[in-house]
Amino acid sequence: MQMRNIAIIAHVDHGKTTLVDELLKQSGTYRENQKVAERVMDSNDLEKERGITILAKATSVVWKDVRINIVDTPGHADFGGEVERILNMVDGAIVLVDAAEGPMPQTKFVVGKALKVGLKPIVAINKVDRQDARIHEVVDEVFDLFANLDATEEQLDFPILYGSGRNGWFSTSPEGGEAEGMKPLFDLVLRHVEPPHVEQDAPFRMIGTLLEANPFLGRVVTGRITSGSVKTNQTIKVLDQDGKVVDQGRVSKLLAFRGLERTAIDVGEAGDIVAIAGLTKGTVAETFCALEVTEPLHAQPIDPPTVTMTFLVNNSPLAGTEGDKVTSRMIRDRLLREAEGNVALKIEESSEKDSFFVSGRGELQLAVLIETMRREGFELAVSRPRVVFRKDETTGETLEPIEEVVIDVDEEYSSVVVQKMSERKADMVEMRPSGGNRLRLVFFAPTRGLIGYQSELLTDTRGTAVMNRLFHDYQPHKGELPGRRNGVLISNDIGEAVAYALWNLEDRGPMMIEPGWKVYQGMIVGEHTRENDLEVNVLKGKKLTNVRSAGKDEAVRLTPPIRMTLERALAWIQEDELVEVTPKSIRLRKTTLDPIERKRERSRDAAA
């Protein structure tokens, strides 16, 4: 059977996963009466909740006796490690662009990688039925983007389709061809995307692209067969990038994507995307090949991590009361398992053996990892995200990661955004109208300054601003940045918080806990109105006497506490504080719980 391999590239929320839903429906993959979930490719719970794609996934449809393998890629730069590997598996790409928003930073990031590896793009302008659609300007913006990314003349001569993925149609003109459905898109893929360039008669070779741990099959590696064929029970080996053999074993199971299901097959042919089970060590970016092969295939280099966090064993007095995976060995095994499948993550063990340095592309990627772990029953403490600095090899000066930040905001709030970004040492490079009384502001900002800015931006702009970030470059250190101005309220004892005590402490600052919550010495219970930290007693109840009062003063009315989400907590804490994460709670605490020891550390730091 003939084959085409394509990736769908788009920014977050431009409609990738919805488009794949329609392609599956209209190609006859589903039975007519089959009940199918919306956004069927977002299978992970976190993906469904956040409405974003985190893991790249493959599916396939058959159109006019040609098998089209479709890969749905993540749209967040934090999950870019997934994107880069995927592009090695495909021969073409559908670049999906919102008819109102136009090409966004993440589109630029992935399209740049796709053009670099020589993929021929098809541009699909989605959501043309939006009231604020500006179709012709967006087409010009896409062309300018491709030109800026050094596209070849052949790549610049891209075909364009217009349509609405949600309504299930694409056409060669914006006026619409709803009656034809997805037929123009399918036909264009067959015409424009070349069949895979493969060597049928050469020995079997394949680059590992995706890795997963299956409870029944063990380690499963997915990739596209570059040459030859592979059979079930065949003995193969794995070569790293230097050509060294890292693993050898028998293919216990060979799976191919047929619709949404992975089906066991006996033989995988060159050009097809298959999953191999049975090898214990082979991983992503390594070459799976026949025994006679000695040269590995070239794998795409991956951008370095820019943010690092410390994951520690939870040593608070409440450790082990809410989760069942609390030991350093369990946390270590889980992190190493994650790093095997996610090449954008880097795990290092500290000398104390009870903490780990986890580096990734951004705090969203690390927050998703922490959220996944807590849902699996893990308890751990994590530090504030820190950026990964570098030394310039020639001058010896410190370099820090700089990101390109694009903020779409209503004109009335633009001044406060510019002010806050300049405080964070950001340089504005562009300001232009983006339609509907909105401005598009483009900055080059240090990653350090952006940690925790998302929630502040939404507060400043009444929730109307949209911020997108993309790694730009390493540049000389920009100097000190302003930190959190307020101190914290710290519990001085262990027990359950009492409403009367919280009520009496309200003038000291807003609280983060409710009556009945368990607290311990060194736990942060609120934000102080002043700059210094203050130890408070939240366990102290009202003294009872025999005197009856006329007023019903026992009916205490409390101000609602500050609700800390995981991302907000990570951005809010200082260097000497941690976030304690359990399956049921997110608590904030000081790294050193003992108040006397904390004072000693402060005096040592002051002396140094």
* Residue among 51, 63, 67 at smallest CA distance from 4: 67
Cβ atoms 411, 399 nearer than 8 A: no
431, β-bridge pairs: 441
The residue count for the chain? 608
From the annotation, which residues make up the binding site for GTP? 13-18, 126-129
Cα gap 331→312, rounded to integer Å: 9
* Residue among 16, 194, 191 at smallest CA distance from 90: 194
Angle separating helix axes 183-192 and 16-26, nearest 10 degrees: 100
**Residues with Cβ < 8 Å from 184, sequence gap 6 or more?**
161, 170, 171, 172, 177
Cα gap 36→260, rounded to integer Å: 11
Q: Distance between the two ends of the chain, CA-based, in angstroms? A: 71
3 state SS of 412: helix
* Residue among 224, 208, 470 at smallest CA distance from 343: 208
The helix or strand, by DSSP H or E, that contains position 606, with its residue range, turns out to be: helix 595-607
- The pairing of beta strand 120-126 with beta strand 92-98: parallel
541 CB-side CA count, 13 A: 9
Provide the token pair at 50.
């956040």
Tell me how many degrees the CA angle 308-314-316 measures, rounded to the nearest 5. Answer: 130
* Residue among 77, 154, 68 at smallest CA distance from 115: 154
Cα gap 559→506, rounded to integer Å: 8
CB count in 10 Å sphere of residue 517: 17
520 CB-side CA count, 13 A: 14
Cα gap 509→232, rounded to integer Å: 66
